Amino acid sequence: MTTKPRVKKFRIRRGNASETPQVSESAPKSPSRPEMLEAISKEGLTGRQLRMARRVAQKNGLEVSSDFDAVLKLREAGIDPFQRNSVLELVKPGEVKPTARVQLPETTDDAAKVLAPVGQPRKPGTHVSEIRRIQREIAQRRRRKLALLFTRLSIFVFLPTFLMGWYFYTMATPMYATKSEIVIQQAQSQGAQAGGLSTLFQGTSIATQQDSIAVQSYLASREAMLRLDADHGFKAHFSDPNIDAVQRLPEGATNEDAFDLYTDHVRISYDPSEGIIRMEVIAVDADKSYDFSQALIGYAEEQVDQLTSRLRTDQMRGALASYEDAQRRREEALATWLAIQQETEQIDPVRETSAQLSRISTLQADRDRLEGILRARLNAEVPSEVQVQSLRDQIAIIDTQIDQLRQEMIGVEDGQLSLAARNTELRMAEENYNFQTIMVQQALTQMETARIEANRQVRYLSQSVRPIAPDEATYPRAFENTLLSFLIFSGIYLMISLTASILREQVSS
């Protein structure tokens, strides 16, 4: 080896006088080889370092009896067994001598196995001066490592943190945030309290959870961004040249760029336990932030109405069509009934029939009375022929009238329906009209039930916290953001340092 010897990782334990070799001024004496081996064993070398020393000794052709002997011989030869260059030379292909021994740390207390010192004996005081030199090298190496560590921290942690803090404190454009909270509620009908399991969760956040998530997704969508841009100029507001370059939307930006900015400046969250949608809208101007927040709340209300409008429309459409059809049939039945009444010139068939039956009953009573008188005349000793014939003629006339009345009720005269047929037709038309009236009433009840059910399906948006324009800038939060930047850069540096240390350990092992 032609390079200057450097000793690294040489640990000195300071304890009592027995552990550190002392040099006597009156009688200088160099330590013996067993004492030097004992001193090396007390340095606290690890097993990996001892194996490394044995491999370096084998590469340099030194015969050793133990790992500590290998360390001692290498130091006597002026070779640092723990120097990185020596370690890297071991991994050259084809230069490592094969050995069948298991390379493990070895120690020995048998002085007979320790070989005699090679070379000239050391001068008195050489061991102490070497220890001091090693201590100075260790101190210099520590200072150099600390300087390198501070340099790396300055470049990779302190400088980026300083730049971020300088940006947040001096360059960042102030932003104003308007916060609001909305909740979607469901209308409760009067009969909802006795609805059983169907209304178990009514009035809770579980009943409107799906609608709340749908509204949250809509407010965070591109459709809402495009609508906000068309109504209130979202792109133009964030393209103002007065905004710093980091937060400003570039001129001629695409919808994707605008949507990325929209997701950063419109923050929407949903709390499923309380059913509250929290929204924070950030803008350069406080009034503009308030306008954006109000517009988004209006979009949310329209979305809530749209979610249930089709269901309510379908329910009401079927009930209304059924009611209109029943109303039409009732009107047709009424028109048919009126036409039959005009044709038969009768209004109430029951009364007409009763009147006919009453006339027949009256004529039948007159006939019975005349027959009684006739029998009385015929029982006389000398009945009057004139009176008898007159009574018979009256009875015959009454029979003719009764037959005519009965014929009118049950027979057909000159192709016209009888009274019974006309009465039956009128009764059927009246019953049909009454039935259609009942159907109209049922359809009306069904339509009212559908209207109540539709009203129960109504969702409406309630503002638990109304938006209020802020009077001072909310962002940037310079101190918090600078501290967060420091933590992020520190974490990145720590991860890279640990990775590099692990890789170096794997290469050197």
DSSP string, 136-158: HHHHHHHHHHHHHHHHHHIIIII
Residue 305's DSSP bridge partners are none
pLDDT in tens, 462-488: 888 999 999 899 898 999 999 999 999
User: Residue 476: is the preceding peptide bond cis (ω within 30°)?
Assistant: yes
Task: Tell which wins on pLDDT, 182 or 336.
Answer: 182
Is the Cα dihedral 21, 27, 30, 34 positive or negative? negative
Say if CB 41 and CB 68 are below 8 A apart. yes
Question: Over 80: is that where the pLDDT of 206 sits?
Answer: no
What average pLDDT does this structure show over 295-320?
81
Q: Considering only CA atoms, give the Rg of the chain.
A: 58
Coarse DSSP helix, strand, coil percentages of the chain, rounded to the nearest 5 percent: 60, 5, 30
How far is residue 226's CA from residue 258's CA, in Å, rounded to a whole number? 9
Q: Which of 298, 281, 305 is nearest to 463 (CA)?
A: 298
Say if CB 264 and CB 201 are below 8 A apart. no
Mean pLDDT of the chain: 77
How far is residue 32's CA from residue 127's CA, in Å, rounded to a whole number? 11
State the first-to-last Cα distance of the chain, in angstroms, to the nearest integer: 23
Question: Over 60: is that where the pLDDT of 411 sits?
Answer: no
Report angle CA 291, 292, 296 to the nearest 5 degrees.
115
How far is residue 188's CA from residue 275's CA, in Å, rounded to a whole number? 17
Question: Over 90: is that where the pLDDT of 281 sits?
Answer: yes
Say if CB 173 and CB 241 are below 8 A apart. no
How far is residue 305's CA from residue 313's CA, in Å, rounded to a whole number? 12
How far is residue 219's CA from residue 268's CA, in Å, rounded to a whole number? 8
Single-letter residue type at 38: E
| Buried b or exposed e, range 295-322, using 16+ CB within 10 angstroms | bbbebbbebbeebbeeebeebeeebeeb
DSSP state at residue 319: H
pLDDT in tens, 79-134: 877 765 554 454 444 444 444 444 444 444 443 344 444 444 555 556 778 888 88
Which of 91-95, 205-209, 489-493 comes out lowest in average pLDDT?
91-95
How many other C-beta atoms are found inside a 10 Å radius of the C-beta of residue 417?
Answer: 15
Task: Tell which wins on pLDDT, 179 or 376.
Answer: 179
Strand, helix or coil at 276? strand
Contacts of 75 (CB under 8 A, 6+ apart): 7, 81
The whole-number pLDDT of residue 25 equals 44
Model confidence at 36, in pLDDT bands (50, 70, 90)? confident
The whole-number pLDDT of residue 124 equals 54
Question: Over 80: is that where the pLDDT of 31 sits?
Answer: no
Q: Which two tokens stand for residue 436?
A: 């259609």
What average pLDDT does this structure show over 435-459?
79
Contacts of 450 (CB under 8 A, 6+ apart): 315, 316, 318, 319
Please give the model's pTM, rounded to 2 decimal places.
0.52
What average pLDDT does this structure show over 49-69?
83
C-alpha pair distances (Å), 297 with each of 88, 102, 163, 265: 68, 77, 38, 15
DSSP state at residue 242: T
Say if CB 220 and CB 268 are below 8 A apart. yes
Say if CB 178 and CB 470 are below 8 A apart. yes
Model confidence at 322, in pLDDT bands (50, 70, 90)? confident
The beta-strand segments (E) located in 164-229 are: 176-186
